[in-house]
Amino acid sequence: MKSRILATLVFSFVVAGATGAAAASTSVTGSAALALAGVVAPYSNLPAADKKAVAAFFKGDPNAPYVKKITVTADKIVCRTSNVDITARSCELTFKVSKKSLKGREANEIYATEAMAGVPSDGAAGSIFESLSKLSCTLDQKALKDKAGAGADCTYEPPN
């Protein structure tokens, strides 16, 4: 009887631990973080000046006239490609107050950048997904100007 109770408790802790590990956030820094912020920012709810600065940073100009840190966020990003219909590629970006649906090249840029940033793929029935939630990328212009590999940091969680 005691061994059955012990086994049940151990199993419960293992399942709880696996669930907790799956929900852990992931950090990305450096060029992958800058790329992730760079491809998401144009569709986000950032002010135009922030979007312009992120675009400048992403194209290699950290000297844009800007002085504060910029945070690029998205509540959820779900991208899909197909290994059956090879013309199919789409992404849905969800922000606090809006949703953006992308297809083609724009979707492919986000999908590929998610993969570069380490977002794990998932697939079923001819579809391959790259999904994340709670994306938060911070760009620090002062650190980017140093050109020493710092200045871009992102965190994200598995899709919920």
Tell me, what's the pLDDT at 78? 97
Q: Give me the torsion for CA of 82, 59, 154, 122, rounded to 10°.
A: 10
pLDDT at 23: 62
The sign of the dihedral angle between the CA atoms of 111, 112, 118, 120 is: positive
- Note the pLDDT of residue 88: 95
Find where tokens 């492919």 sit.
108
pTM for this entry: 0.82
Domain spans, the chain:
25-157
Q: Within the chain, which residues score under 70 in pLDDT?
A: 1-23
Q: For the chain, what percent of residues have pLDDT higher than 90?
A: 74
> Which of the 8 DSSP states describes residue 144?
H
The pLDDT assigned to 24 comes to 87
